[in-house]
Structure 1
Amino acid sequence: MSRRREVSHTSARSLLMTVLGEFVLPRGRPVWTSTLVDVLGTFGIEEKSARQALARTAAEGWLVSERVGRRVRWSLTPPGRRLLTEGAERIYGFGRSNGEWDGRWLMVLVSVPEAKRDLRHSLRTRLTWAGFGSPTPGVWISPDTGRQDEAGGILTELGLDAEAMSFVAAYAKIGDEDAMVARAWDLTTLEERYEGFIDEFTGLNPDTGDPVLHAQTRLVHEWRRFPFLDPQLPARLLPPNWSGAQAAELFHRKHVEWRPAARRHWELLVADEEKE
C-alpha cells in the first residue's frame, strides 16, 4: 500500500471523517489541528487541503473549534457524535451473518417521468443506498422485507408516496430468480471491488507506530464504502465462493488485530501535541 497517495479535496474530507470516527469519537476529547493535519498528511493530503476539510466539516455542523492561545483544537458537536456513532455501527456491523432468508421479496413500484431527471436521480440514489435493486424500470426489489419503512420514508420525502405501490411475495414459477438478481445488481463489479480490498490488505502486517495507524485508517476508510455498494443479499442469491464473505472476515479480523496498537500510537501523537 502506497505511503503517499494523491487524494482529492473531496476525499480529504471523507478521510477526515474516517479519522474522526476511528480515533476522535471513542476518545471523547478535543484534538489539535496539527494532529489531524499530520495524520492526513501521511496519505498525501497537503496541509491546505486538510485545513479546508476541517473548515467544511465544521461548516456542516459536525465539528466546533476552540482557540487556545495561538493554537486551535476541535471537538465533535452532538450531531457530529450521533452521525459518527451511527456510521460506526453500520461499518463495524456490516458483513456479519444476517441469518436465514425466508425467500420473500419486498417490491416497490414507482415511476418518475423522464422529464424529472433530478427526481429520478434522487430516487435511484437513495433506494440504491437502502439496498434496493431495479431489475426493470419502475420496479425496485429487496430481499429484506424489513426495509418497508425506510423505503416509505424515502418516497414520502421525495413526494412520490401517493403514486407508489408495494408488495411482499415469493418469486413464482415464471422467469428465473437468478436472472432477476443479475439485472437488479451488478454483482460482478462489486465482487471485483471486494477482491481489490482483499489484495490490498491480505499480507499487510504493520506492528507499531505510524504504519499501524496508517493501515488501520486505510482499512476502515476502504471498508466504509461497502455498506453503500453491497445490498447484502442472502447467500443463496450470491455467486459461489462470494468474495464479500472473505473480505468481511478479513476486515473484522484485521480491525480487531490492529486497533490496540493504532490507538496507542494515536494517544502518543495527541500527548506530544499537548506538551507543546
Structure 2
Amino acid sequence: MSAVWSNLEDLRSVVAEGPRGRRVLVTLMAEYWLEEGAMVPSGALVDLMAGMDVSPSGTRTLLSRLSREGRLTTVKDGRRTFYALSDKARRRLTEGFTVIRVFGTDHGPADPDWTTLLFSIPEDQRAVRQQLRKGLSWMWFAPLYDGAWITPRDHGQQAIALCQKLGVVSASLIRGRVSSAGTGFGNPVDAWDLDLARELYTSFTSILQDPLDRMRKGQLSPAESMRARTEVVNVFRGFPRFDPDLPLGLLADDWPRRAAREAFAELYDGVTEDAIDYVRSVVEQHSPAHVQDVSIRRL
C-alpha cells in the first residue's frame, strides 16, 4: 500500500492547502470526535497519527498549536491530557462534511443562475486582494476576469461578508443567468481549468482501484482501513476548488466527476466498520472510559 499512499499524497499536495500532518490530525478529530463533548486521550492521537507516518513529537507540536489557535480544547486529568474540538471548529467541520456528503451527487440545471462578485481594489492594497482571492476560492468562486469572480453556488452573502471583513468597499454582487458574448473565452465554465480538473479526477479514481480491490477481497487490515478512510477524504474535500459541482449540461459527456465520487464513496463507507473498530481499540489502550466518545460518519 505504500505506493498508493505516496501517489495519493502527491495528489493531495495539489488539491489541498496546508501541511499534511495538520490536515490529517484535523481530519481524525472530524471523523471520530465530532460530537459535542467527545474527548480523546492525547496518547491515542499520537498512536493514530504514527499510523499515518506522523512522528509523536510532530503530533504533540500540532496539538499544542491547534489548541493555541482555539481549534482544540484541552482537559487535564492528573498527568493525562484529553482533547476535544472547540465549538467553532466543530461547526466549521460539520459544514464541511455537509459539502462532502453532497458533492458530485447534485448535477444541477444546464442553465443555472450564477453568483458573480465584481470588485475593485487599489493597487497599493495587494495583500487585501490576495486575501480576498484566497477566501473566494474556498467559497467555490473562480476568476472569469480579474475583478469578476463567479460560482454556480449561491454563496453571495458569504462573499459580501468577506469583502466587509477585509474592508473592500468597491464590490457588487449579481445573481442570475450569464451569457457569453465571445467565442474564445467568457463562458462561465471558462473560469475553471477543466483540463486540470479532469486530470485530478482521473488520477484519483485510478489510484483508488488498488485499495478498492483489496477492500472487496477483505484484504485491508483495520489499521489500513482507518488510513484509507483518512487519506481519501483529505483529497476528495479539495476537489470543489477545481470544480464546484459545475452543471453536467455544460461539460463533456464523459466528465469524470461521477466516477471519482463513486470510487470515493465506496471506499470511504466500505472501510467504516473496520476503521472505527481500530480507532476504538487504540483509544481503549489509553482510556477505556472514552471508547464511547468515538463516533462515526457515513455519506
Normalising by structure 1, we get a TM-score of 0.87
Displacement after TM superposition at 1:111 (Å): 1.9
Larger relative contact order (CA 8 Å, sep ≥ 6): 2
Task: Indicate which of 190, 196, 202 corresponds to 1:195.
Answer: 202
Task: Indicate which of 229, 250, 259 corresponds to 1:246.
Answer: 259
Q: Determine if contact 1:24/1:30 at 8 Å carries over to the other structure.
A: yes
Separation of aligned partners in 2, 1:196 and 1:211: 21
Separation of aligned partners in 2, 1:52 and 1:89: 29
Q: Determine if contact 1:129/1:229 at 8 Å carries over to the other structure.
A: no
Q: Secondary structure at the match of 2:181?
A: coil
Name structure 1 gaps, 5 residues minimum: none
Separation of aligned partners in 1, 2:23 and 2:180: 45
> In the alignment, does 2:264 pair up with 1:255?
no
Q: Determine if contact 1:19/1:217 at 8 Å carries over to the other structure.
A: yes
* Percentage identity across paired residues of the two chains: 30
1:193-247 CA distances to partner (integer Å, 9 max, x unpaired)?
2222212212313444211111111121221222333322111222331122211
What is the match of residue 164 of structure 2? Answer: 156
Q: Secondary structure at the match of 2:287?
A: helix
Equivalent AA in structure 2 for residue 174 of structure 1 = A
Change beyond 3 A, Cα 1:209–1:153: same
Change beyond 3 A, Cα 1:105–1:91: closer
Task: Indicate which of 78, 96, 110 corresponds to 1:69.
Answer: 78
What is the match of residue 33 of structure 2? Answer: 24
Separation of aligned partners in 1, 2:179 and 2:229: 46
Q: CA RMSD in A?
A: 2.8
Change beyond 3 A, Cα 1:41–1:177: same
1:126-148 CA distances to partner (integer Å, 9 max, x unpaired)?
2222122222221222233x222
> In the alignment, does 2:143 pair up with 1:134?
yes
Change beyond 3 A, Cα 1:10–1:31: same
- Bigger mean CA deviation after superposition, 49-58 or 84-93: 84-93
Change beyond 3 A, Cα 1:178–1:95: farther
Q: Secondary structure at the match of 1:35?
A: helix
Name structure 2 gaps, 5 residues minimum: 290-299
Q: For residues 1-276 of structure 1, what are the structure 2 equivalents within 5 Å?
A: 1-2=1-2, 10-26=19-35, 29-144=38-153, 146-160=154-168, 162-172=169-179, 174-176=181-183, 180-181=187-188, 183-204=190-211, 205-206=214-215, 207-274=220-287
Normalising by structure 2, we get a TM-score of 0.81
Q: Determine if contact 1:110/1:163 at 8 Å carries over to the other structure.
A: yes
* Matched residue count: 274
Separation of aligned partners in 2, 1:172 and 1:260: 48
What is the match of residue 297 of structure 2? Answer: none
Q: Secondary structure at the match of 2:155?
A: helix
